[in-house]
Structure 1
């Protein structure tokens, strides 16, 4: 868990370095940084994952099957299953059936949390299409999320994948605690940087670290290696979330209107840092705007200008880039491979993506 002054408290410098064989993990300009390139080493494994995932989504209940088919049609980027599969390959050279099931479990749990999140946020769209709750209302959306969670649990229990189930169950616990802490603190508008990192560590990084750890657990008993992959995922997850938070302050590279988080009174890193740097009167004025239930475009522009003026955006970008660098450094103990190269490329994709 990082403190307020350091991206991660592992004693490493923020710069990339070479492994014992001199294999440098500084960002290679030829490294894969598009998702299509990154997933190339695991294309065959992704098909095996899809088979487990589709089977787990099947139901004899007509309405439930109709809804799950709608979920399958949406597809998504599948970043989390890709992380599971790449981590397994990077640790042992090959993925296993256990790895494929772990990837399916991750996607089932992730999909369930997204469905539940849309209910909590009263969101009508997800990835540019109607959300489940918008089409079938909240009760059915909640029950669908429960169904997906149960299918994930059964998938692991039926194959005695207890270590992986424990890893993912702990991630779900942390995600719930992080969401509740954010809701509590958003009401009071008193989140500092340390609390912010605690929230995003639980809300976002926990599942990404569960992906990389599960991939390792599925192929090795090496505790040191498993712990390193866990830490890699945690660090990558923090950088990933900061990138999401920066979207709220930039129309150009986010492809969405400014202020989605601000409308929900979410205190993200750029705003937290700027409030810390501002004078008492200005801070009070901005907090009053943030606390408004209905903010106008002018209100959002005022907050955005304030954050830019006080260096919040630049600070968040530096922290994000430092975390991505630290994540790459954690891969240096792994043997050189295409999977490791893709994981290194994924650290850059995470902070350069447009959505």
Structure 2
């Protein structure tokens, strides 16, 4: 599988320009705020979401200034949600670095998130990108609903496959769907093509989250510590399948361990073993590949070329990664 730099090559120049514009879009005349946003920019990830925006625009008509603003809008709103999530989750690390709330406390972190949100809104309004703003705003709404749905279901330990898919569709897939729809819309594509790209992104997002959830039960060399979801009482697809294919006594015992002993390393190890023995990981892998293939089926309706190849490689990178 190509690495991220090889995948990025067809749009590398656009990404370089985007990164400079993104830095500019975050600037503030308030010294503290400028220092914090500089810290955020320095620790940005692999730019997967902007890459989806640019490749989607390229395959749907071509990259332009609106595409750059769409990518910045996605990143601003996404970064705002991450800053707020770290406050909600009492998380003090983000990608191996201190989170904003760890360094500057919760009050400032919430205000920084609000600032990033407002910058994204103004960027779109000032340039008349109302279609892009609608797409991304809908995604942020769904992300909030997905988080609250998960909180409600975790409290009651009431999660089956249908609820699981609804949670990850809203929490994770909605944003990747918005990236692909934004890219297509910025290129002036028809409503039909924009919707097709939105569905494409949604399938990728679901496959991505299933893969991520599998890491919780896998080996400990994937960059995500084992059992984190269990500690947070999150019931994900591998465990849902294992519980559905267990005896009533086994089910009762395992649910009890997740609810009441989720901070006991031995109990967590027992749950992981149970999931593996019941075939939960194999089942999740099959479902992940199903959504991946659905994404490829949509991609195959577009003409062959560098943009389609780039998107295909990006899909494989996000859904077949080992960490």
Q: TM-score, normalised by structure 2?
A: 0.97
Offset from partner CA, 1:270-311 (integer Å, 9 cap, x none): 011111111111101101110026522111110001101111
Please identify which structure carries the higher helix content: 2
Looking at structure 2, the residues matched to 115 and 251 of structure 1 have their Cα atoms a distance apart, in angstroms, of 28
Whether the aligned pair in 1 keeps the contact of 2:204 and 2:319 (CA below 8 Å) is no
Looking at structure 2, the residues matched to 288 and 88 of structure 1 have their Cα atoms a distance apart, in angstroms, of 48
User: Per-residue deviation at 1:52?
Assistant: 2.3
Looking at structure 2, the residues matched to 38 and 326 of structure 1 have their Cα atoms a distance apart, in angstroms, of 21
Number of aligned residues: 323
Looking at structure 1, the residues matched to 148 and 218 of structure 2 have their Cα atoms a distance apart, in angstroms, of 27
Q: Which residue of 1 aligns with 2:286?
A: 318
Q: Which residue of 2 aligns with 1:257?
A: 225
Q: Which residue of 2 aligns with 1:213?
A: 181
Offset from partner CA, 1:245-276 (integer Å, 9 cap, x none): 01111134523321111100011110111111
Q: Which residue of 1 aligns with 2:106?
A: 138
Looking at structure 2, the residues matched to 107 and 49 of structure 1 have their Cα atoms a distance apart, in angstroms, of 11
Q: What's the secondary structure of 1:84's corresponding residue?
A: helix
Unaligned runs of 5+ in 2: none
Q: Which residue of 2 aligns with 1:47?
A: 16
Q: Which runs of 4+ in 1 moved over 2 A?
A: none
Q: Which residue of 2 aligns with 1:66?
A: 35
Which has the bigger relative contact order, CA under 8 A and spacing at least 6?
1
Deviates more, 1:45-54 or 1:228-237: 45-54
Whether the aligned pair in 2 keeps the contact of 1:58 and 1:68 (CA below 8 Å) is yes
User: Per-residue deviation at 1:84?
Assistant: 0.1
Q: 1:287-298 alignment to 2 at 5 Å?
A: 287-292=255-260, 294-298=262-266
User: Per-residue deviation at 1:320?
Assistant: 0.5
Q: Which residue of 2 aligns with 1:181?
A: 149
| Mapped pair 1:280 → 2:235 | no
Deviates more, 1:48-57 or 1:306-315: 48-57
Unaligned runs of 5+ in 1: 1-31
Looking at structure 2, the residues matched to 252 and 186 of structure 1 have their Cα atoms a distance apart, in angstroms, of 25
Looking at structure 2, the residues matched to 319 and 221 of structure 1 have their Cα atoms a distance apart, in angstroms, of 31
Q: Which residue of 1 aligns with 2:275?
A: 307
Offset from partner CA, 1:202-238 (integer Å, 9 cap, x none): 0000000000000000012422211111110000000
Aligned residue among 28, 33, 42 for 2:2: 33
Whether the aligned pair in 2 keeps the contact of 1:33 and 1:348 (CA below 8 Å) is no
Q: Which residue of 1 aligns with 2:65?
A: 97
